[in-house]
Amino acid sequence: MLLTRRAALTLTLSALAAPALIRPALAACKPLDLGKGIAFGRQDGSRGIATRKGDVVVIDYVTNRGAWTDYRVVKNGVFETSRTVEESEEPMVGASAPTYTWTYSPKIIMPEDGATWSGRIKELVEVTISDENATVQRQRYRWQAIYRCFEPREVTLSGCTHAALTVEAAFSGEVGGYSQRWVYFPDLGLGLETRRNGVSNGLTAMTPA
């Protein structure tokens, strides 16, 4: 009978311990609200914040690396309409960080499994030169692009599981081409870049801001 009592006691303690082990993970999984802001981390150690502003999402991809800037405005999860980028942790002197703006034709889509979008993109690049007249230099480009949505799955970040969709885009123009990949979270309306021109920078965390 002693063995039976020990077995029963062990089983009782295991049953009590299991919820105690589970509760912290559940408690850490807090709802994400893009209207209030979502913080995220990436494999290179950078941290960022995404926030919905009306019909666009504003994504600050780098908030912890000095003067390094990667600030984007996005529609429909992955279609970027503007980006200001400076890939240096030291302040630049003599010119502003370049700002890119894009317009799409035809009308952009919402990402969903199996969907594609192809069309034309007009790009405007602006840089302000810090001289007496604060001269603005502008360059214009045109691109052909195709976006593909595929690979629906679940991903776990910061202890929470989210429905996700892969979106890839390829761009070609007179000056060459480039590519991008995002993980898009349909329940959140948020897409975050995970690869650019073959260089990956995956997500490592996602929490309320």
Per-residue pLDDT at 96: 80
**H or E element: which one contains 65?**
none
| C-alpha triplet 133, 139, 142: angle, nearest 5° | 160
Radius of gyration of the chain, Cα coordinates, nearest whole angstrom: 23
Per-residue pLDDT at 89: 77
Cβ atoms of 172 and 118 closer than 8 Å: no
3-state secondary structure of 53: strand
Per-residue pLDDT at 134: 75
CATH T-level fold of 32-208: YmcC-like fold (2.40.360)
What are the sequence ranges of the domains in the chain?
A: 32-208
Per-residue pLDDT at 93: 63
Per-residue model confidence as pLDDT tens for the chain (209 residues): 334 433 443 333 333 333 333 334 445 688 999 999 999 999 999 999 999 999 999 999 999 998 899 999 999 999 999 999 998 777 666 678 899 999 999 999 999 999 999 999 999 999 988 766 778 899 999 999 999 999 999 999 999 999 999 999 999 999 999 999 999 999 999 999 999 999 999 999 999 99
3-state secondary structure of 49: strand
Strand 135-157 to strand 99-105: parallel, antiparallel, or no bridges (unpaired)?
Answer: unpaired
3-state secondary structure 102-133: EEEECCCCCCCCCCEEEEEEEEEEEEEECCCC
For tokens 């600030």, name the residue.
71
Q: Is the alpha carbon torsion for 180, 183, 185, 188 positive or negative?
A: negative
